[in-house]
A and B are shown apart, each in its own frame.
Chain A
Amino acid sequence: MRLADKIRVAVIGASGFIGSRLAEYLILNHLAEVRPIVRSFKGMARLARFNVDIAIGDACDEKMLAEVLGSAEVVFHCVVGDRSTIVRSAEAVYRACRSAKVQRLVYLSSAVVHGHNPLPGTNDGSDLIQRQPFEYNVSKVRAEKILRKLRTDGEVEVVTLRPMIVFGPRSAWWTAQIATDMIAGRAYLVDSGNGICNTVFVDNLVHAMWLSATVPEAANQDFIITDGEDVSWRQLYQSVARAVGVQLDFVPSITRQDAVLSIRKSKHEALKEFGNALKPLIARTVWPSVPHFLRQTLKSSLGERLFPITSPKPNELVLDPEIVSLQQCDYRLPVEKAKRILGYKPEFTFSKACVRTEAWLRFALGLDKV
């Protein structure tokens, strides 16, 4: 692998949360010649802040992709989508890379290939868990297996990265959604948020992606990527709560036992039972816990596209089986292999990452004053 100053890279899925931050990181840190690839014109809005050549390409269309990859030496696969897209794009991107004579493909997988609550001792080389209750997880396992098989042809080096909970600016799931759920009274914690949250701040992740593109020894290796710290779900939620001015103590907590039951039951039943059980709790706690000034702000200054204007309706509390499952993690994933081979050293501690994330969140919710 060449370690030139400015290698040519293509980012497929460059309009998304991680893809767009990766492109931004590479451009602003002057690391590479970047060609962002997005699925449609509308995906250009965020990237068009830069004077950069953005290409249109369907991640599942091998031929189309091969044409737009141009002379890229490294390709980052950051595509998000449904099960079909996850699986089909893995193969299409690899084959396109092969046609375009790309040297290395950095594939953004997920640590959910080891399950939401990995067994103690799980590491980068552990078997992938094929039988899982969640479609996304199974799709990622299938995509990884496809790439493992394809890479045996020796044409394109593949580096697979497995982050778990990626948070930070523009994270819809693990930053913004928590914030809006909290404001709307929909947020909850399992077991008071004591479960292990294998976080990785998006900037730490993109740094690891860059290392994966340039470190020769990374070829055909798989890496779990986290912040390398003991972080609980409570700590992640605490950071978001601080940004939006909600007291975390009033966010309801459900027991693990109830959480397990909720997953076993049908969604409708679970909704009904837990909604009713939590109704008095939330009515007494969550909404009143929002500071008065913020309540007024929410009522009079924030919009219903993002927030409901009226008080939350307790019986609308929805337990998401994936979130419930993830919050029951007891195992801190190891990051030693990435440190050893990639030279990965998370630049941002969790607390430093939270400062940046909170600053963005206040801006993105319109809570930041000029």
Chain B
Amino acid sequence: MSELFHMAKRGIPSVSVCLIGCGAVSEILYAPALVAMKQKGLLEPVAVVDPNSSRTESVGQKLPSASCYADIDNMLAHVIPDLAIIAAPHKFHADLALTCFRHGVHVLCEKPMAITKAECEHMIDAAETAGCLLGVGHFRRFFPSCELIKTILDRGLLGAVRSFQFLEGETYSWPAQSTSFFHKSSAGGGVLIDAGAHTMDLLIWWLGEVADLDYQDDAMGGVEANCRMRLKMAIGAEGIVQLSRDWPLPNRYVINCDKGWIAYVCDVVDRIEWGWHHADYGLDSRIFSLPRLGAARALGLSQEVSGFMDCFASQLRNFVGAIRGQEPLRVPGSEAVKSVELIERCYLNRKFLAMPWLSETENEKGRRLAIG
């Protein structure tokens, strides 16, 4: 990161970027991150794109250096940025990325990378052919908490993983700016492909391939608000994932290993919880970062880790570093396709979620609606 800043100071031009799709994620997360990156001379927002002019206006106000466009073709006729951030409805991800690659534009695509594995593979091939970078916005991988869990598991500090339980859910509160999240045609599904894209990414990143799964959800002609699955991983561990956009769940991912357990609390970036089995106490551990060089390192001085927003911005810093050839892309398309493949597999094997709080008649009707 410091090298990037030195480059900015040396007058190396910042990376021009466009933001395609001006929904809530662009307004709440990307726009502030881009403002911060612009101030540091790393990125220069040049365009915002959305067919809804009130949305481009709203996001454009936060990024005054950017021009507003109704569609990508119109934008490309006027400006070809170095990098495109694609934050449009899921169904447009693949086509938009392909258009960008045809113009030699690198792409950071919001999760899910696309709706199907085939689309993802097409995107990966196109990026390679064009010599462009393709990254995906699984920014939880930039959380110190998630990174530390990955390290602990990879190094076997708690022994082999035996089981896990990932529970994540809220009454839906994301300030969606359109209906795109709620139609299969635009979103590809419900909570699983939306918030669950992050869950599936972490699951695979931490625990590896899924050998077998049993997936259920409550979609009844629409998209699921609740889903749960039992998974068997290739490493032998078995576990449960339950997701909801209907109701608050405990929002914890607990992984049980031979010697103890470790937990990620959703969206908490700077601490993890862990402990030993059958113990009366557990640990709530704050994470600090250790400088890599210099006297601070020698003295073992620690410093606070980044906050949530800074972690979000880290993926952009990583992308700029990758464009400049200084570091590898942390979440390339070849990594992100794994979660899309798993989600697709879930949907292909979906069963109707039995809801014993409904009548038999209602469950039967729901099952029929689910089948279509």
Interface residues of A (CB under 8 A from B): 24-25, 27-30, 40-52, 54, 168-170, 176, 299-307, 309, 356-357, 359-360, 363-366, 369-370
Verify if B275 is at the interface (C-beta below 8 Å from A).
yes
Give 10 A-B contacts (CB < 8 Å), ordered by A residue.
Answer: A29-B362, A40-B175, A46-B246, A48-B222, A51-B369, A54-B182, A301-B167, A305-B266, A306-B248, A366-B165
In this complex, which of A46, A52, A169, A365 has the most chain B Cβ atoms within 10 angstroms of its Cβ?
A46
Minimum CB distance partner of A44 in chain B: B182
A54-B182, A300-B254, A370-B230 known; A28-B223 Cβ under 8 A: no
Using known A-B contacts A42-B174, A45-B246, A370-B229, determine if residue A303 contacts B221 with beta carbons closer than 8 Å: no
Contact of A370 (CB < 8 Å), options: B171, B225, B240, B263: B240
B348 CB-CB contact with A under 8 Å: no
**Contact across chains for A301 and B182 when beta carbons are under 8 A apart:** no
**Complex contact A300–B176 (CB within 8 A):** no
A170–B282 CB distance below 8 A: no
Chain B 195-238 per-residue mask, 1 if CB under 8 angstroms from chain A, else 0: 00000000000000000001010111111110011100000000
- B residues 358-372 in Cβ contact with A at 8 Å: 358, 361-362, 365-366, 369
Where the two chains meet, the residues of B that have a C-beta atom closer than 8 Å to any C-beta of A are 165, 167, 170-179, 181-183, 190-191, 214, 216, 218-225, 228-230, 240, 242, 244-252, 254, 261, 263, 265-266, 273, 275, 282, 284, 355-358, 361-362, 365-366, 369
* Docked complex Cα distance between A29 and B368 (Å): 12
**Alpha-carbon separation in the docked complex, A66 to B219 (Å):** 30
In the complex the two chains form, is A49's CB within 8 Å of B361's CB?
no
| CA A304 to CA B251, docked complex, whole Å | 8
Cross-chain contact A48 with B223 (CB below 8 angstroms): yes
Whether the pair B224, A306 counts as a contact (CB closer than 8 A) is no
A44 to B244, CA, bound (A): 14
In the complex, which residue of chain A has the Cβ closest to the Cβ of B191?
A: A45
Q: Which of these, B220, B252, B275, B365, contacts A302 with CB under 8 Å?
A: B252
Interface pair A49/B190, CB less than 8 Å apart: yes
Q: Write out the residue numbers on chain A whose beta carbons fall within 8 Å of the beta carbon of B284.
A: 309
> Which chain B residues border A48 with CB–CB below 8 Å?
181-183, 190, 222-223, 225
Chain B residues with Cβ under 8 A from A364's Cβ? 244, 247, 249
Cα-based distance from A355 to B222 in the complex (angstroms): 28
Whole-angstrom distance between the alpha carbons of A47 and B165 in the complex? Answer: 27
Chain A residue numbers with a CB within 8 Å of B173 are: 42
Nearest CB of chain A from residue B146's CB, rounded to whole Å: 16
How far apart are B193's CB and chain A's nearest CB, in angstroms?
13
Question: Which B residues are CB-close (under 8 A) to A46?
Answer: 172, 225, 245-246
Q: Which 9 A-B pairs have the closest CB atoms?
A: A45-B172, A303-B250, A51-B221, A48-B182, A302-B250, A360-B357, A303-B251, A303-B252, A28-B362
What residues of B have a CB within 8 angstroms of the CB of A41 in the complex? 175-179, 181-182
17 extra interface residue pairs, beta carbon distance < 8 Å, beyond A45-B191, A306-B250: A25-B362, A27-B220, A28-B358, A42-B172, A44-B172, A45-B245, A46-B245, A49-B218, A51-B369, A176-B247, A300-B254, A301-B167, A301-B252, A304-B265, A305-B251, A356-B356, A359-B357
Q: What is the minimal beta-carbon distance from B366 to any residue of chain A, in angstroms? A: 6
B362 touches A169 (CB 8 A): no
B52 CB to nearest chain A CB (Å): 13
CA distance in complex: A111, B178 (Å): 37
Shortest CB distance A286–B (Å):
17
Which of A48, A359, A369 has the most CB atoms of chain B within a 10 A radius of its CB? A48
A50→B220 CA distance, assembly (Å) = 5
Nearest chain-A residue to B363 (Cβ)? A28
Q: List the A side residues contacting B181 at CB < 8 Å.
A: 41, 44-45, 48
Check A366–B250 contact: CB distance below 8 A: yes
A49 and B225 within 8 A (CB): yes
- What is the chain A residue whose CB lies nearest that of B172? A45
Please give, as numbers and ranges, the residues of chain A lying within 8 Å of B220 by CB-CB distance.
27-28, 49-50
Q: Is the CB of A366 within 8 A of B230?
A: no
Instruction: Kindly list chain B residues whose C-beta atoms are within 8 Å of the C-beta of A51.
Output: 221-222, 369
Residues on the A chain within 8 Å of B261, using CB: 300
Instruction: A40 to B165: give the CA distance in the assembly, Å.
Output: 32
Question: Do A366 and B242 have beta carbons less than 8 Å apart?
Answer: yes
Q: How far is the CB of A153 from chain B (nearest CB, A)?
A: 36
Taken together as a complex, chains A and B put the C-alpha atoms of A151 and B230 apart, in Å, by: 54
* A305 and B250 contact, CB distance less than 8 A: yes
Collect the chain B residues with CB atoms within 8 Å of residue A28's CB: 220, 358, 361-362, 365-366
Q: Give the chain B neighbours of A49 by CB distance below 8 A.
A: 190, 218-225
* Alpha-carbon separation in the docked complex, A191 to B175 (Å): 43
Q: What is the CA–CA distance of A304 and B252 in the complex, to the nearest angstrom?
A: 9
Min Cβ gap B283→A in Å is 11
Taking the closest CB of chain B, its distance from the CB of A268, in whole angstroms, is: 28
Chain B residues near A370 (CB, 8 Å)? 214, 216, 228-230, 240
List of B residues within 8 angstroms of A168 by Cβ: 357
Please, how many angstroms separate the alpha-carbon atoms of A49 and B42 in the complex? 42
What is the CA–CA distance of A46 and B284 in the complex, to the nearest angstrom?
34
Once bound together, how far apart are the Cα atoms of A307 and B252, in whole Å? 11
A274 → chain B closest CB, angstroms: 27
The interface residues of chain B lying within 8 Å CB-to-CB of A360 are: 355-357
Residue from A299, A300, A306 having most chain B Cβ neighbours under 10 A: A300
Closest residue of B by beta carbon distance from A361: B357
Most A C-beta atoms less than 10 A away, residue of B183, B191, B221, B358: B358
B240 nearest in chain A by CB position: A370
| A42 to B195 CA separation, bound complex (whole angstroms) | 14
Q: Is the CB of B249 within 8 A of A303?
A: yes
> Is there an interface contact between A29 and B225, defined as CB atoms closer than 8 Å?
no
Residues of A within 8 A of B225 (CB): 45-46, 48-49
B365 touches A300 (CB 8 A): no
Residues on A with C-beta less than 8 A from B175 are 40-42
A296 vs B312: C-alpha distance when bound (angstroms): 33
Shortest beta-carbon distance from A250 to chain B in Å: 19
Tell me whether A307 and B250 are in contact (CB under 8 A).
yes
A54 to B182, CA, bound (A): 10
Contact of A306 among B230, B251, B282, B362 (CB under 8 A): B251
CB-CB < 8 A to A304: which residues of B? 265
Complexed CA–CA distance, A25 and B220 (Å):
13
Q: State the Cβ distance, B255 to closest chain A Cβ, in Å.
A: 11
Q: Are A369 and B357 in contact (CB under 8 A)?
A: no
User: Which of B242, B273, B369 is in CB contact (< 8 Å) with A50?
Assistant: B369
